Amino acid sequence: MGQPIEELDRVTVGDVTIFTLDRNLASMGTRSFDEAPSDVGADDFVATLAARTFESDPAINRVYVAANTVQVTRRRGWDEAASGAVASVITELFRFYS
């Protein structure tokens, strides 16, 4: 149930990878997290995404969501496996079962 989010583009600059998506996650606002949120509400999809992203990789130290982009900062830089794992977390955000 739920549709996967499509990743349109992925760009890495230093320790930051920017994922551009096919839909807006944060409406007109922006959200920033320097750690996993402790109390994620059931309808707070951006906080849920941040929590899952932090859980997916202990080297992640920042998640920033603005409209249809997600910027993730990771200590020690990025490799294909790390960026692919975060991309999977993002694209599966609205999937409740397969």
CA distance 10 to 84: 10
Mean pLDDT along residues 56-81:
96
pLDDT at res. 26: 85
Q: Count of CB atoms within 10 A of residue 27's CB? A: 9
Domains of the chain: 7-91 (3.30.1370.70)
Is 90 exceeded by the pLDDT of residue 7? Answer: yes
Predicted local confidence at residue 33, as pLDDT? 96
* Entry field: residues in the chain: 98
Sign of CA dihedral 97, 57, 54, 24: negative
pLDDT tens sequence across 70-90: 999 999 899 999 999 999 999
Rounded Cα distance, 4 and 22, in Å = 10
